[in-house]
Chains A and B, each alone.
Chain A
Amino acid sequence: MGIRRAAQYATFAGAALMVSAGTALAAAAEATALPEDAVVGGYVPMKPTEGKGMPTPGAIGFQEQFSPIGEYGQWMHNAVLMPIITAISLLVLLLLLWVVVRYRTKANPKPSRTSHNTLIEVVWTLLPVLVLLGIAVPSMRLLASQYETAPEGALTVKVTGYQWYWGYTYPDYGGFEVISNMLPEDEALANGEPTQLAVDKRMVVPAGVPIRIQTIGADVIHSFAVPSLWFKLDAVPGRLNEKVMFIEEPGVYYGQCMELCGARHGFMPIAVEALPRDKFEQWVLEQPGGTLGEPAMTDVNMPVQEPESAVPGAAGAPRPDSALEEDVDAAEPAPTAA
């Protein structure tokens, strides 16, 4: 498998070519595309950037996050939860090792008969309570950020889970539905995309604006999940679920169905392509039935509304070190094609 994987990522690197996206939204972004994309007009599926919006080989942490809520969630996990749970596990391990060494029969032949100590029992009940209260603060903030719904006039994408593919309907733009199926392995590799994640038609959305995602299941329950956007919402028959998605920069973000839905549950991936507004509109016009009839937020220069602005750790706030490092890496130009 090693060889196949290496070949696949060689394809990524070879195809990657930096082009100027030309919009404020994509300022530091690594929106890469084939040279043909530079030709005016015509939507060409964006080439994914290796390691962005997809799992990284051998990684031991979260995928890099591209939404404010994801950055806050990742910060909370890495900076709050991980140190606490690591410390607790190590504390228990050290105490175990200590009693094993200190109170083995040879070291302590006469066992004590102590079986009560009210003070220490109260302490080890109250201390965890305090720790949990400490965790609860960022946890409740993270949840509270979900109170805000998408602003009126935000783009709506209705995501329908079918056995076993996804449908993306755009009610604001003529109500066309994009049917998205998994690409077979050879085609995915030919496209320079990761296998099991690449699809024939992506869910294309604008970057930098709140999007109202509505999910529903057509047959059984599915779950629309994109790990790099910290987004997961079940698609349940008979129930229209709604949640805000906000993608900070253009790119391709892969996800998969995450609720068991039958035989091909593992074969209905998700690919979200976030584009600058004008490119997105271009794409809409190319869809059968796609129209810019009454788009509510067409002005690219309109100030961007951030629904997760309540999230303290969003833009500007300190981010985990790892994320900063990844940013530095990402800012370096990708290798150009020969």
Chain B
Amino acid sequence: MATTAPETFPVHEDAHHDAHADHKPAFFQRWFMSTNHKDIGTLYLIFSIFAAIVGGGISGIMRMELAEPGIQYLGAVHEFLGGAAGDFDGSLHLWNVLITAHGLIMVFFVVMPAMIGGFANWFVPIMIGAPDMAFPRMNNISFWLTFMGFCSLMMSAFMPGGTGMGAGTGWTVYAPLSTTGSPGPAVDFGIFALHLAGAGSIMGAINFITTIFNMRAPGMSLHKMPLFVWSVLVTAFLLLLALPVLAAAITMLLTDRNFNTTFFTPQGGGDPILYQHLFWFFGHPEVYIMILPGFGIISQIISTFSRKPVFGYLGMAYAMVAIGVVGFIVWAHHMYTVGLSVNEKMYFTAATMVIAVPTGVKIFSWIATMWGGSLRFASPMWWALGFIFLFTVGGVTGVVLANGGIDDNLHDSYYVVAHFHYVLSLGAVTAMFAGWYYWFPKMFGVWHSELLSKLQFIVFFVGVNTLFFPMHFLGMNGMPRRYPDYTPAFELWNWVATKGYEIMAVSIVIFFANILYAIIVRKKAEGNYWGEGATTLEWTLSSPPPFHQFETLPVIDDKAGAAH
């Protein structure tokens, strides 16, 4: 900690010369020029919540429109956003803009910022006994690049994008729909948003890898690191290897669009399928990027509330490594219907099913951790138990979809939508809420309401299952994804799903009520408020931790306890 923020900015020197641990910079410096991992983590969390309101609101419009057959609301929303009245294609284009924005926002601006930018920034340095991240200023620019990426994506909604305003390409941005199929600057802005967010994430990944490899406290060997740190380490490697491929692919899109290259244009010798290979070489590791930190959070919570070390620690850590490695060689299972050869389909079917093995190890190890434990049911434990079940359901439908021959029917249907929302919306998001309630008093020093968080869990659990389970039925019955309208045979389960969304929305109201509760009641939290079982280093600090922790490095000498 040779260069802490206050020393860096001369404007501050007059008022305060002594830089002790809790010396906080003034508001603008602290929040806009921050180099403190905890402040940047908080910024990421606030940003993620804000983006989730936008992304979740968009899905509200989508569920409203899909509640019954016919186009009911798109025209009005289109007009509200400045479109011409009665412009049918414009309204339908708006639908594609909504699904695109929903996907991109939830992936790049909600889950990744919350998991990696938020929780990992906050707790990885603390858990390994480090005073901060390895590159604090790079940490800051990671956040602001992500923020500017979001701004670029929002701006794209107000640019011409072909048949209407905004980028209507789907989050996958497949060529040639995203090149010759979408004239106008909207898609360029969307692509630039991915560039910015991607650059931010790559820098974040470098930061985490360096921090974890170089800044562990004395005695904190790799095999003593808490599993959350392991999960972030694996995630950071996935980011580092996958995102440059995405960056290359979307840069080629940009040059195809603007500089007459033909990487993905058959007329000039290119191939649209090449884009899909590049995209999914990034895209499949990306889904593990979203869920692995969640695995880490759940491991910490299960261990804490079982008052027992994680069962099969090494198996758990290397299961995540295995998932990360195998995750790079299964990408074409997203492309079974593009015209792959039968041999390719067989290989990708087999490779994909292999992933179920380390995933099973994790599920069973969580249960074995609780086995023989002394379980307390604080609210994070409710969320963690919910996670295990919901992720299992999402995982087994993944095994179904892994079979290329079955996917021939289910590909691009609502079954796929159900599957990835079970692992993400019900998996990753449930893990995010679990982490939020596990660490909220630690991060902010005041208590949330345990009652409200349990209530939120129940409403959320009922809501998301009502919302997403019927989508399996719709998909098997043949309903395609990304459709604003459907034949009346699909009405029943669509109507049920929309009701599920409404229930889920109530749980989000409870979430915000809980934040208000914490702000108003301001019930102080102790350092280790979960008590016995909470053994990682963040529980040795006050709540909230001092502005700069571990100015004297902690020494980990416990053979089994402190680390995991």
A residues near B (Cβ < 8 Å) are 1, 4-5, 8, 54-63, 69-70, 73, 76-77, 81, 84-85, 88-89, 92-93, 95-96, 99-100, 103-105, 108-117, 120-121, 124-125, 128-129, 132, 135-136, 139-140, 142-147, 163, 194-197, 219-221, 223, 225, 227-228, 230-234, 236-239, 241, 255-267
Contact = CB atoms under 8 A, between A and B. Distances in A.
Contacts of B408: 73, 230-232
B264 to A, nearest CB: 9
B484 to A, nearest CB: 6
A58 B96 contact: no
16 contacts: A1-B70, A5-B491, A55-B479, A55-B489, A57-B488, A61-B473, A99-B371, A115-B313, A128-B356, A221-B272, A227-B409, A232-B412, A256-B478, A261-B181, A262-B163, A263-B93
Contacts of B481: 258, 260
A237 B338 CA distance: 11
B375 to A, nearest CB: 5
Given A59-B477, A238-B267, A120 B368 contact: yes
A112 B373 contact: yes
B534 to A, nearest CB: 13
A143 B404 contact: yes
Given A61-B476, A146-B342, A100 B484 contact: no
Interface stretch (B29-37, B170-178, B237-245): B170-178
Contacts of A223: 337, 411-412
Nearest to B94: A263
Contacts of B361: 121, 124-125
Contact of B409 (A70, A132, A219, A265): A70
A124 B312 CA distance: 12
Contacts of B540: none
A231 B408 CA distance: 7
B487 A62 contact: no
B75 to A, nearest CB: 13
A239 B271 contact: yes
Nearest to A85: B396
A5 B312 CA distance: 55
B393 interface: yes
A81 B483 contact: no
Given A100-B385, A266-B483, A267-B485, A221 B176 contact: yes
Contact of A263 (B164, B403, B477, B485): B164
B271 A238 contact: yes
Given A227-B409, A262-B93, 17 more contacts: A1-B488, A8-B488, A55-B487, A58-B492, A62-B477, A69-B405, A89-B393, A99-B373, A100-B375, A104-B374, A114-B372, A116-B311, A139-B405, A220-B174, A221-B174, A237-B176, A261-B181
B164 to A, nearest CB: 7
Nearest to B268: A238
Nearest to B310: A115
Given A115-B308, A232-B409, A264-B92, A85 B399 contact: yes
A105 B532 CA distance: 12
Interface of B: 68-70, 89-90, 92-93, 95-96, 162-164, 168-170, 174, 176-177, 180-181, 265-267, 270-273, 306-313, 315, 337-339, 342, 345-346, 349-350, 353-354, 356-357, 360-361, 363-365, 367-368, 370-377, 385, 388-389, 392-393, 396-397, 399-400, 403-406, 408-409, 411-413, 472-473, 476-493, 533, 560
A259 B481 CA distance: 8
A7 to B, nearest CB: 10
A206 B285 CA distance: 44
A77 to B, nearest CB: 6
A70 to B, nearest CB: 7
Nearest to A228: B478
Contact of A259 (B95, B374, B412, B492): B412
Nearest to A122: B315
B405 A143 contact: yes
B350 A136 contact: yes
A304 B69 CA distance: 41
B491 A108 contact: no
Given A56-B489, A96-B388, A266 B181 contact: no
Contact of A103 (B270, B271, B374, B405): B374
A55 B478 CA distance: 6
A239 B349 CA distance: 23
A263 B168 contact: yes
A233 B338 CA distance: 6
A100 B309 CA distance: 17
Contacts of A95: 367
Interface centre among A112, A233, A260 (most CB of B within 10 A): A260
The 8 closest A-B pairs by CB, nearest first: A238-B266, A142-B405, A227-B478, A85-B396, A112-B372, A241-B339, A55-B489, A266-B483
B477 A63 contact: yes
A136 B311 contact: no
Contacts of B339: 233-234, 236, 239, 241
A194 B266 CA distance: 37
Contacts of A236: 272-273, 338-339
Nearest to B345: A143
Given A128-B357, A220-B181, A266-B484, A85 B400 contact: yes
A1 B485 contact: no
Nearest to B491: A1
A2 B225 CA distance: 58
A267 B71 CA distance: 12
B491 A60 contact: no
A143 B346 contact: yes
B369 to A, nearest CB: 8
Contacts of A84: 396, 399
A323 to B, nearest CB: 14
A132 B488 contact: no
Contacts of B174: 220-221, 259-260
Contacts of A139: 349, 403-406
A232 B412 CA distance: 10
A55 B96 contact: no
A99 B312 CA distance: 17
A1 B495 CA distance: 11
Contacts of A105: 374-376
Contacts of A8: 488
Given A103-B374, A104-B375, A262-B162, A89 B312 contact: no
Contacts of B360: 124-125, 128
A84 B349 CA distance: 17
A257 to B, nearest CB: 7
A305 to B, nearest CB: 19
Interface centre among B169, B339, B478 (most CB of A within 10 A): B478
